[in-house]
Chains A and B, each alone.
Chain A
Amino acid sequence: MYEHDVIVVGAGGAGLRAAIAAHEAGADVAMVTKLHPVRSHTGAAEGGINAALREGDDWELHAYDTMKGSDYLGDAPAIETLAKDAPEDTITLEHWGMPFSREDDGTVSQRPFGGLSFPRTTYAGAETGHHLLHVLYEQVVKRGIQVYDEWFVMNLAVTDEPDPNDRTCHGVVAYDVQSGKVEGFKANNGVIIATGGPGQAFDHTTNAVSCTGDGQAMAYRAGVPLEDMEFVQFHPTTLPSTGVLISEGVRGEGGILYNEDGERFMFEHGYANNAGELASRDVVSRAELTEVNEGRGVNDEYVHLDMRHLGSERILDRLENILHLAEDFEGVDGLIEPMPVKPGQHYEMGGIETDENGKTCVDGLYAAGECACVSVHGANRLGGNALPELVVFGKRAGYHAAGKDLGEAEIETGYTDDVEDETEADLPITPGEAGIEPVSASESVATDGSGQVAGGDALLEQAVEAERERVDRLMEKESGTKHADIRSKLQDAMTRDVNVFREEEGLKRALKEIQECRELYQDVYVEDPSRTFNTDLQMTYETRNLIDVAETITLGALVRNEFRGAHWRLENQIRDDENWLKHTLISWNGGKPSIWYRPVILEGEDKTYEPKVRSY
């Protein structure tokens, strides 16, 4: 068994920032990550990081844009925290050596991004995430923070009191991918989950193969609610053949979208008469698909993004990486021809419910980054707002877990009696009924009866034993269904029915298919008999996580019968503020998901954000 004060699960932008903060606050920190830190998906981010740094801009404008972008489903305390902390946290990156693009006077450059009223997206070429990830890792090396890389976290060791609000997390169970050995990691102060998004639930995604929602699924099974999972961002400009992202920076710099007829459809078809290409992502994604559906798509599949008129000098200065991506992955030279683009899954707005300090309702359990939902993005994330989220909330979670006082949080977490409970939604299936091991949360949460075991050692040991047995079971089975087949069935269902456009019938169909995936999973087996670097085993675990997360996305989308942000419902194309200014929360309860709601907090520090029609 390994033991540290703070254990950070995942070493992308959020995890690295959390580890540095916890270390600064004096804790003995370790990172446990399934990839070496520099392989994390944060490295793929291109466009930039929003922070109000310049005269004429201020955090209040940033907060306002974010609230509007969220379609009034963000919580004001979270959004204001993001906007206030982002400038300092961004400059800290600069102090650590981040090679931001520069103005003539040597200050960092900023550029316009969709949905922003001020050009506040700070960037390093079109490879901001790569630099951010590397700079943070450099600081981890500098501080000598221990990293267990290529260790896959399988489960959390959480006590099993009936009410999740009473539970405590004592550590995690992980296995060393290189040797196959399963071990416990005890956290004396706290565990911070920073495992990134679940993009692999879809088959056309900008996300890495490692983005399998592991942390979300583990927290969910341990009793922490997942919040607003139905809000999945589809990015309007991904390459059709691979899902590789063409940064919003291209449109920020003046790139233009054309349909097959050469029409600048954002204006000519009235999708966004003011902002055009720079309307927010949900608006542009729907516009593109409408063009395709109405017969104006190129090859009936995509539209064109043209940046040639920007001139090679500007392109090479600010978007050089885009040229490489278009060339390597689509065989297109962006300097002399337009690039084909279509919407692809990009970002999960929802996630593990946390407060502004990164804390969940389970004691000692924190989450930050894309896997978390402190509710800054609401129904739609603005481009350039995820990277500040990583550094702002990663840092806060790190500090808090290490015992630093950040003051009382305003956002409440966990189930209380005054939240609205709507468990009896009309569902076509009984989710969870088909079972999947573990069938219920109580099988996932280590059972120590009373939760009183001293220091949690016994609890952790028990959780380790449970995972060792599970691995043995999976590997002893000689035949069955391959995870790859289940995964692709799941991805097909999600891409077909839980995409940009959604309707009741399709969502129900997807739920049934997810259920079938659960059934198939009961027969899953690991073909590779070796304990050394067994990616077959790892992907089998990941696939189970994807099923759980996909189910919450689809359930959330089915019950939210309105149109808000990235969630578009065919039957009901109005934003219904009267009934739906509330977060969807899904908890894993006694073997099945239950759904309940919490009102959105629109009161900020000294003003209340009034929902307005969102037009660009």
Chain B
Amino acid sequence: MSTQQQQPEEPETQESPVEGEPETESAPEPQQRRLERKRLGQAQREQAEAEAEPEETKVHLKVFRYDPEVEAKQEPRFDDYYVPYERGMTVLDALIYARDEFDSSLTFRHSCRQAICGSDAFFVNGSQHLGCKTQLSELEQPVRIEPLPHQEVVKDLVVDMDHFYDQMHSVEPYMQQEDLPDGDLEEFRQSRENREKIKMSTRCIWCGACMSSCNIAAGDNQYLGPAAINKAYRFAMDEREDEEIKEHRLRIIEQEHGVWRCQTQFSCTEVCPKDIPLTEHIQELKREAVKKNLKFW
């Protein structure tokens, strides 16, 4: 049975969202209400503080360290950091704290802090996560942070992404429809359904988590890998490109190290921080490729 890890469905839809709450009826004077609410707020905050773990709450991080140049770090090792915990703190926040307060040489990529630049995928407690999107409160301690597996380590948590980029580039990741609609201001029409179909596939942020989680990719360096195949899907399914180009795309992904290597293990789908149904997309391309072959043979 191939498919059926479903597209992560839209979050449980609440058909009738709770109505705008403003409590109005028979309320006391605004001034009075405000005071009361303030007092309530104050009391709640105090209670929350009292309930919170003792002030000295620290998170224990074990962070992978390696630097080809610096003697002390030439042998990979783990460093321990104890970072004061604040509500809402993410793995990335903790790393930044450790770097700024304890050791300026601790090295990792990061930029947007909002799960869109794709630069801080790490191996956290044994699986791939974006540091900025992962709450410390959800993790067991000590929190073990390592670079993405199956990629060459440049330094500490920084891995060499060149191979990943090469695979992405190899599927010709750009729109190839050259016949423009008449008139400079005429767009290609695209149906809502078609946009919906490719929507998830366009969300990839090139973080490399999927590739790093994939056993096949680990064993076969030439395997295109889930992200690149998903990129091919994004164009192959876009109705704005014509049939001929679609066939050209299918030929690329159907090659020896393409879709047929995938053994539907779902590990890519599980780790993708953008919830892209990667395995499903790969399966669908397999079906398309079969259809195409049936047509020709």
Chain A interface (Cβ within 8 Å of chain B)? 35-36, 38-41, 43-44, 53, 87-88, 91, 94-97, 99-108, 125, 127, 130-131, 134-135, 138-139, 141-142, 178, 208-210, 241-245, 256, 258, 260-263, 295-296, 299-300, 306, 308-313, 316, 320, 323-325, 328-331, 335-338, 482-484, 488, 526-536
Q: Which of B23, B37, B133, B187 contacts A91 (CB 8 A)?
A: B187
Task: Provide the bound-state CA to CA distance between A44 and B14, in Å.
Answer: 28
The reply to whether B118 and A39 contact each other, CB–CB distance below 8 Å, is: yes
- Closest Cβ of chain A: how far from B126's Cβ, in Å? 21
The reply to whether B70 and A530 contact each other, CB–CB distance below 8 Å, is: yes
Task: Give the one of B10, B111, B156, B181 with max A CB within 10 A.
Answer: B111
Q: Is B290 an interface residue (CB 8 A)?
A: no
Q: Which residues of A contact B172 (CB under 8 A)?
A: 142
Whether A88 contacts B113 in the complex (CB less than 8 A), given A38-B205, A99-B199, A106-B190, comes out as no
The reply to whether B13 and A316 contact each other, CB–CB distance below 8 Å, is: yes
Those of B90-108 within 8 Å (CB) of chain A: 99-101, 103-105, 107-108
- Closest Cβ of chain A: how far from B201's Cβ, in Å? 9
CB-nearest residue of chain B relative to A138? Answer: B174
Task: Provide the bound-state CA to CA distance between A209 and B114, in Å.
Answer: 11
Interface residue tally for chain B (C-beta within 8 Å): 79
Q: Is B195 an interface residue (CB 8 A)?
A: yes
The reply to whether B190 and A102 contact each other, CB–CB distance below 8 Å, is: yes
The reply to whether B17 and A242 contact each other, CB–CB distance below 8 Å, is: no
Whether A244 contacts B113 in the complex (CB less than 8 A), given A309-B20, A312-B14, A530-B70, comes out as yes
- Closest Cβ of chain B: how far from A52's Cβ, in Å? 10
Whether A329 contacts B114 in the complex (CB less than 8 A), given A108-B187, A256-B20, comes out as yes
Q: Which residues of B contact A97 (CB under 8 A)?
A: 174-175, 177, 235, 238, 240
Task: Provide the bound-state CA to CA distance between A329 and B133, in Å.
Answer: 7
Q: Is B216 an interface residue (CB 8 A)?
A: no
Those of B61-78 within 8 Å (CB) of chain A: 67-70
Task: Provide the bound-state CA to CA distance between A260 and B45, in Å.
Answer: 16
- Closest Cβ of chain A: how far from B123's Cβ, in Å? 18
Q: Which residues of A contact B118 (CB under 8 A)?
A: 38-39
- Closest Cβ of chain A: how far from B31's Cβ, in Å? 9
Whether A95 contacts B180 in the complex (CB less than 8 A), given A39-B119, A309-B20, A311-B17, comes out as yes
Q: Is B223 an interface residue (CB 8 A)?
A: no
Those of B194-231 within 8 Å (CB) of chain A: 195, 198-199, 202-203, 205-206
Q: Which of B103, B114, B185, B187 contacts A242 (CB 8 A)?
A: B114
Q: Which residues of B contact A331 (CB under 8 A)?
A: 88
Q: Which residues of B contact A178 (CB under 8 A)?
A: 154
The reply to whether A295 and B195 contact each other, CB–CB distance below 8 Å, is: no
Q: Which residues of A contact B21 (CB under 8 A)?
A: 262, 338
Q: Which residues of B contact A134 (CB under 8 A)?
A: 202
Whether A41 contacts B24 in the complex (CB less than 8 A), given A101-B195, A125-B199, comes out as no
Q: Which of B111, B185, B203 contacts A41 (CB 8 A)?
A: B111
Whether A308 contacts B185 in the complex (CB less than 8 A), given A41-B111, A536-B104, comes out as no
Q: Which residues of B contact A243 (CB under 8 A)?
A: 113
Q: Is B39 an interface residue (CB 8 A)?
A: no
The reply to whether A102 and B88 contact each other, CB–CB distance below 8 Å, is: no
Q: Which residues of B contact A312 (CB under 8 A)?
A: 10, 13-15, 17
Q: Which residues of A contact B169 (CB under 8 A)?
A: 141
Given A106-B192, A482-B100, A530-B155, output 20 extra A-B contacts at Cβ < 8 Å: A36-B165, A39-B111, A91-B185, A95-B181, A99-B195, A99-B202, A131-B202, A241-B88, A244-B113, A258-B20, A258-B22, A262-B21, A295-B34, A312-B15, A316-B13, A320-B10, A324-B115, A335-B11, A335-B13, A482-B104
Whether A535 contacts B22 in the complex (CB less than 8 A), given A39-B118, A88-B184, A97-B240, comes out as no
The reply to whether A308 and B111 contact each other, CB–CB distance below 8 Å, is: no
Task: List 7 interface pairs A-B (beta carbons < 8 Å), by A numbering.
Answer: A105-B189, A310-B17, A328-B115, A482-B100, A529-B105, A533-B156, A533-B158
The reply to whether B114 and A244 contact each other, CB–CB distance below 8 Å, is: yes
Q: Which 6 A-B pairs have the closest CB atoms?
A: A106-B189, A97-B175, A262-B22, A528-B105, A138-B174, A527-B104
Task: Provide the bound-state CA to CA distance between A39 and B113, in Å.
Answer: 11
Task: Provide the bound-state CA to CA distance between A401 and B156, in Å.
Answer: 40
Q: Which of B14, B38, B175, B191 contacts A138 (CB 8 A)?
A: B175
Task: Provide the bound-state CA to CA distance between A261 and B34, in Å.
Answer: 7
Task: Give the one of B22, B112, B158, B181 with max A CB within 10 A.
Answer: B112
The reply to whether B105 and A209 contact each other, CB–CB distance below 8 Å, is: no
CB-nearest residue of chain B relative to A260? Answer: B37
Whether A533 contacts B187 in the complex (CB less than 8 A), given A309-B19, A316-B13, comes out as no
The reply to whether A328 and B133 contact each other, CB–CB distance below 8 Å, is: yes
Q: Which of A91, A245, A306, A536 contacts B186 (CB 8 A)?
A: A91
Q: Is B252 an interface residue (CB 8 A)?
A: no
Q: Is B173 an interface residue (CB 8 A)?
A: yes
The reply to whether B235 and A53 contact each other, CB–CB distance below 8 Å, is: no
The reply to whether B116 and A44 contact each other, CB–CB distance below 8 Å, is: yes
CB-nearest residue of chain A relative to B157? Answer: A533
Q: Is B18 an interface residue (CB 8 A)?
A: yes
Q: Which residues of A contact B185 (CB under 8 A)?
A: 53, 87-88, 91
Task: Provide the bound-state CA to CA distance between A324 and B105, in Å.
Answer: 33
Whether A533 contacts B107 in the complex (CB less than 8 A), given A53-B185, A95-B180, comes out as yes
Task: Provide the bound-state CA to CA distance between A262 and B23, in Å.
Answer: 7
CB-nearest residue of chain A relative to B115? Answer: A328
Task: Provide the bound-state CA to CA distance between A558 and B133, in Å.
Answer: 39
CB-nearest residue of chain A relative to B19? Answer: A309
- Closest Cβ of chain A: how far from B35's Cβ, in Å? 9
- Closest Cβ of chain B: how far from A145's Cβ, in Å? 12
* Interface 0/1 of B262-275, CB less than 8 Å to A: 00000000000000
The reply to whether A36 and B161 contact each other, CB–CB distance below 8 Å, is: yes
Task: Provide the bound-state CA to CA distance between A94 and B183, in Å.
Answer: 13
Task: Provide the bound-state CA to CA distance between A87 and B186, in Å.
Answer: 10
- Closest Cβ of chain B: how far from A539's Cβ, in Å? 8
Q: Which of A209, A309, A532 contacts B113 (CB 8 A)?
A: A209
The reply to whether B174 and A529 contact each other, CB–CB distance below 8 Å, is: no
Task: Provide the bound-state CA to CA distance between A446 and B38, in Å.
Answer: 60
Whether A532 contacts B68 in the complex (CB less than 8 A), given A43-B117, A244-B114, comes out as yes
Task: Provide the bound-state CA to CA distance between A243 and B117, in Å.
Answer: 16
Whether A43 contacts B205 in the complex (CB less than 8 A), given A91-B185, A258-B22, A482-B104, comes out as yes
The reply to whether A94 and B191 contact each other, CB–CB distance below 8 Å, is: no
The reply to whether A529 and B11 contact each other, CB–CB distance below 8 Å, is: no
Whether A296 contacts B34 in the complex (CB less than 8 A), given A311-B17, A335-B11, comes out as yes
CB-nearest residue of chain A relative to B92? Answer: A209
Q: Is B54 an interface residue (CB 8 A)?
A: no
Q: Which residues of A contact B205 (CB under 8 A)?
A: 38, 43, 130
Q: Which residues of A contact B240 (CB under 8 A)?
A: 97
Task: Provide the bound-state CA to CA distance between A329 and B205, in Å.
Answer: 18
Q: Which residues of A contact B69 (CB under 8 A)?
A: 529-532
The reply to whether A242 and B113 contact each other, CB–CB distance below 8 Å, is: yes
Task: Give the one of A104, A130, A139, A311 with max B CB within 10 A.
Answer: A130
Q: Which residues of A contact B14 (CB under 8 A)?
A: 312, 335-336
Q: Which residues of B contact A141 (CB under 8 A)?
A: 169, 173-174
